[in-house]
Amino acid sequence: MELTALNLEVNQNIAIITINREKSLNALNTQVMDELDFLFTDHLSSLNIKGAVIKGAGNKAFAAGADITEFMSLDASSGSALSAKGHRIFIAIENFHLPIIALVNGYALGAGCELAMACHLRIATETAIFGQPEVNLGLIPGYAGTQRLPLLIGKSKAMEYTLTGDMIKSLEALNLGLVNYVLPYDDAFNKAIEIINKIGTKGPNAVANAIKTINAFYDKSQDGVALEIDIFGKSLATEECKEGVSAFLEKRKAQFKR
Active site residues: 114, 134
Count of beta carbons in the 10 Å neighbourhood of residue 166: 12
Q: Are 101 and 158 in contact (CB under 8 A)?
A: no
Cα–Cα dist 106/157, whole Å: 21
DSSP secondary structure letter of residue 42: I
Residue ranges of E strands in the chain: 6-11, 14-19, 51-56, 61-63, 100-104, 107-109, 121-124, 129-131, 168-169, 181-182
Secondary element (H or E) of residue 207? helix 204-217
- φ and ψ of 116, to 5 deg: -60, -40
Cα–Cα dist 96/119, whole Å: 9
Paired with 52 in beta bridges are 15, 100
End-to-end CA distance of the chain: 26
